[in-house]
Structure 1
Amino acid sequence: MTDLAHPAERVTTSPSTDGLQGSARTLAVIAVSLSVLLALLDYAIANVALPDIGRDLHASASSSIWVVNAYQLASLVSLLPLASLGSKVGFSRLCRVGIMVFMVSSLLCATATSLPMLAGARVLQGIGGACIMSVNIALLRFIYPHAEIGRGIALNGVVVAVGVALGPTAAAVILSVASWPWLFWVNLPLGALALIMAFKALPETPRSNQKSDTLGSFLCILGVGALVMGCDELSHHGNVALSVCLILIGLGAGVVLVRREAEAPQPILPVDLLAKPDFTVAFVTGFLGFVASNFYIISMPFTLHDELGLSAALTGLLITPWPIGIMCAAPVVRRVADSVSAGVLSSIGLSVTATGFLLLWLLPLQPSVFDIAWRTAVAGWGFGFFQPPNNRAMMVSVSHARAGGASGMVQVARQAGQAFGAMGVAAFFAQFAHEGARACLLAATCVAASAAALSASRLFMRG
């Protein structure tokens, strides 16, 4: 395995990197899983309550969307700076800080009396979630031995799927008996449990002695934020001049940051990791996989509700086979993730996902519930089979000293893919009007198939 650590790099502590054993590993995995679940439940939990929030806070529907956008944008732009910070202060410490920030911001969300207050609290909540998500896979490298890291990443993938799937469901249950502030109050007991477990069970990890780079963090946030907002504005057919200006600002900030950090042992924007072909292919494959998944996840409810005339409750129910399929793939992929290459496993998974999307695109005009459910489950199973080996390939291709940067890039691939997938859906809806939802399913098929082909290229990289 190639060590990409810079020769000048040093750590202030040197705990064992051979993983934990027995009950220590079990408790540490529970701690990571609870923290990830906390962060992901709120990723989409507020979506269901947007009409109620807008009404209570006297905000328009378009303005209320910032309750969701503020969390997602804050999380995405802060991932890499926080992953870099985790390398300096320790991954476990940053995870604990993230949980505490998340709890405080949840309290602020629950007590907000205006939309700007709620959006600001959601920004803070997104930063807390990014503290957790930027280091969770890096922590797995210190919890599991190298030979079993694939098992840990597979389990983490299940937790991610459960967290994403439970968000809207939990929101629906809570809103049936309480008002929307309780969507945030419930984070306090879950956060307290996660925090106790994080202090009790998370292992200490090496800490770099590299100095903090405030300007570099600002450039990273500016670059990612401007690029995402510019592309989003363009996808909604907004102001073209503004879109181009934002994109140029984002690219310019990125170029300045890369040049500034050319000799840094642990750069905030770890483009040096992309010099390794294994890492680059896995990163782009992951990005494309999540672009495809968001083409499906965002557009499918419109197909079910608007085109097929299904109720909102049944629409939500028919999305459920997607995370169920992901969870069903976990026992299989856990057994083979550490012994079979990602070039084989991820290619199979993405091919199955593309097949599932294609079958959904080919649905008959009057499909039964079973017709929709089994096709969705097939696509979900493939997605669950693709993620863990691909994430493992990114993590094991770098040294333990670069685990923070690699973990941050895993999450960037996920969140950037989701963001650009959402932009693609908006662009397709604007371009194809009533046929937009079906066009998105075909796009999901094509993107997933392309990702499968890219993944398979790993089988030929070493000749």
Structure 2
Amino acid sequence: MNNPGNPAQGKVEAQAPLSGTRSKLSLISVLIGTSVVVLDSGLVNIALPTLARQYDIDPGRAVWIVIAHQLVTAMLIIPAAGIGRRFGQRDTYLAGLFLVLLGAVGCLLAPNFAALLLARAIQGAGTAAIVALGMALVRSSYSGPQLAVMLGWYAMSVAVSNAAAPVFGGVLLATLGWRWIFAIAILPALISATLMLAGPQNRRHRDETLDLPGFLFSAMAMAAFMLSVDRVSTSPQWAIVGMAVFATSGVLFIRRQKTAFFPALYIKAFENRRFSWAVTTSFLSFAAATMTLIGCVFLVEVGRGMSALETSLILCLWPIGTAVTAPISGRLTGRFAPGRISSTGLGLFAIGAGLVAMLPSDFSAIDLAWRVGLCGLGFGLYQSPNNLEMLSAVPREHSGTAAAILACTRTMAMSFGASLAGMLLASGDPGVVAYKVISLGCLTSLLAILASEQR
């Protein structure tokens, strides 16, 4: 456990900071690139009904615009980290930006639904490189307290993008039309690429070969997991088959990593107690956040009958709260043990979720709003220290591994949380069952606190 009397315990290793003008340009590029892909996901979610009408398809098919992107992203996160190690993280990140740009142009010009799906898949491949290597690039340029602060800025950029997406998407659809949902990413992506080109080049391991079998097993495992959890409620038999494929692929991947001369992933990272418990905490916390957020949506729209606009205005307080505390959390990590700060943030989140779960059925918008804001404040306080623990627990040259595992963990946890929420909501009146979903989110966050305290 963390010792509150010893702030140095659990801190990032003491290394000389590598920051300079070129490193700052690289950081800004990562913040912009990350904001682009996060904003893109939010904007497309808002535009799904419009896109369904535009291409004359039913809403069930339209959802594949999102699924295709998420599936390809999940499948390619670990391969992107391995390619980044072989050819350089900066150049691989730039390739990801290029694919995001190419996909955005493809979406903009897509003549039919099939072409749109292909363009979204291309964007998903680019997004995988950005989420797998963004934090690794920050880690390669900063260390110690500076790294903690920069991770706080990283978390803030994600939160601001999440908060802006619903409002920004509505404005674009109402004024400029659906094509701007995709076109809006082009200029920021170009700016991000220009800044990254001016940033420092990191080491390439050209003497190493790509672990293609490892890439294949990891992609199969992630695809099987994503598809199976999505089918738990509607096709349980296929979900069981999918989980069997996931387990088999996962075992084959781990065995490959233990025997490969140049493995896709630095599997020894899990031998580090700080790293393993930080990963566990991350999974539980993102599952808890997903369940709580989905529960709040149904509580507001179905339970209280509020409009989609009212719902978005209330729930945007979550990412706003995260944006407020994330940079503060980064600075606190330079003074206190990261694990203790993470636990405190998760405690605030659990209190907020618990208070939401105890709301009466006739609650007002304000009653819910400040509780949702408290969840966001707590989650923002938690994220940066936990990410720091993961990144600093492995050698700098393997930072891509830590960033990729973090991205995979977050993706799997959100899918798992959404699946559990969906199963509960299908068991009764969604407006009533939403309270149970939020309660489960609160309970899961308490488990995350226990995991956080083990390091």
Same fold (TM over 0.5): yes
In 2, the alpha carbon distance for the partners of 1:265 and 1:136 equals 26
Aligned residue type for 2:379: F
Aligned residue type for 2:82: S
Match of 2:447 among 435, 447, 450: 450
Note if contact 1:80-1:408 (Cα within 8 Å) is conserved in structure 2: yes
What's the offset of the Cα at 1:41? 1.0
Deviations 1:136-187 (A, max 9, x none): 1111112213342111111111011112222222211100112212100111
Equivalence map 1:115-126=2 (5 Å) = 115-126=113-124
What's the offset of the Cα at 1:265? 5.8
SS in 2 for 1:432: coil
1:296 aligned to 2:292?
A: yes
Change (3 A) 1:427 1:48: same
Aligned residue type for 2:382: F
Give structure 1 regions of 4+ aligned residues with deviation exceeding 4 angstroms. none
Deviations 1:344-389 (A, max 9, x none): 1111111110100111111233323322221111110000000000
Equivalence map 1:38-437=2 (5 Å) = 38-200=36-198, 202-208=199-205, 209-234=207-232, 236-240=233-237, 242-264=238-260, 267-434=263-430, 435-437=432-434
Aligned residue type for 2:451: L
SS in 2 for 1:262: helix
In 2, the alpha carbon distance for the partners of 1:266 and 1:418 equals 30
What's the offset of the Cα at 1:342? 2.4
Aligned residue type for 2:378: G
In 2, the alpha carbon distance for the partners of 1:331 and 1:256 equals 40
In 1, the alpha carbon distance for the partners of 2:17 and 2:368 equals 42
Aligned length: 439
What's the offset of the Cα at 1:263? 3.2
Aligned CA-pair RMSD: 1.7
What's the offset of the Cα at 1:39? 1.4
In 2, the alpha carbon distance for the partners of 1:25 and 1:228 equals 35
Note if contact 1:321-1:373 (Cα within 8 Å) is conserved in structure 2: yes
In 2, the alpha carbon distance for the partners of 1:256 and 1:410 equals 21
Note if contact 1:82-1:130 (Cα within 8 Å) is conserved in structure 2: yes
Deviations 1:300-334 (A, max 9, x none): 12211111122221111001110111112124212
| Structure 1 range deviating more: 422-431 or 387-396 | 422-431
What's the offset of the Cα at 1:266? 5.1
In 1, the alpha carbon distance for the partners of 2:433 and 2:208 equals 49
In 2, the alpha carbon distance for the partners of 1:115 and 1:394 equals 40
**TM-score, normalization: structure 2?**
0.93
In 2, the alpha carbon distance for the partners of 1:27 and 1:42 equals 22
Aligned residue type for 1:390: N
In 2, the alpha carbon distance for the partners of 1:400 and 1:331 equals 23
Deviations 1:236-287 (A, max 9, x none): 24141x2222221222122122222213365324443212221110001011
Give unpaired runs (5+ residues) of structure 1: 1-16, 459-463
Deviations 1:406-444 (A, max 9, x none): 110111121111111111111111123332322111111
In 1, the alpha carbon distance for the partners of 2:250 and 2:357 equals 38
Change (3 A) 1:215 1:266: closer
In 2, the alpha carbon distance for the partners of 1:334 and 1:247 equals 37
Note if contact 1:349-1:384 (Cα within 8 Å) is conserved in structure 2: yes
Note if contact 1:19-1:141 (Cα within 8 Å) is conserved in structure 2: no
What's the offset of the Cα at 1:449? 1.1
What's the offset of the Cα at 1:98? 0.7
Note if contact 2:210-2:264 (Cα within 8 Å) is conserved in structure 1: no
In 1, the alpha carbon distance for the partners of 2:283 and 2:17 equals 28
Give the structure 2 partner of residue 461 of structure 1. none
Note if contact 2:77-2:407 (Cα within 8 Å) is conserved in structure 1: yes
In 2, the alpha carbon distance for the partners of 1:263 and 1:18 equals 34
In 2, the alpha carbon distance for the partners of 1:263 and 1:204 equals 30
**TM-score, normalization: structure 1?**
0.91
Note if contact 1:432-1:439 (Cα within 8 Å) is conserved in structure 2: no
What's the offset of the Cα at 1:214? 2.2
In 1, the alpha carbon distance for the partners of 2:89 and 2:293 equals 31
Give the structure 2 partner of residue 24 of structure 1. 22
Note if contact 2:23-2:200 (Cα within 8 Å) is conserved in structure 1: no
Note if contact 1:279-1:393 (Cα within 8 Å) is conserved in structure 2: yes
Note if contact 2:47-2:169 (Cα within 8 Å) is conserved in structure 1: yes
In 1, the alpha carbon distance for the partners of 2:69 and 2:242 equals 20
What's the offset of the Cα at 1:18? 4.2
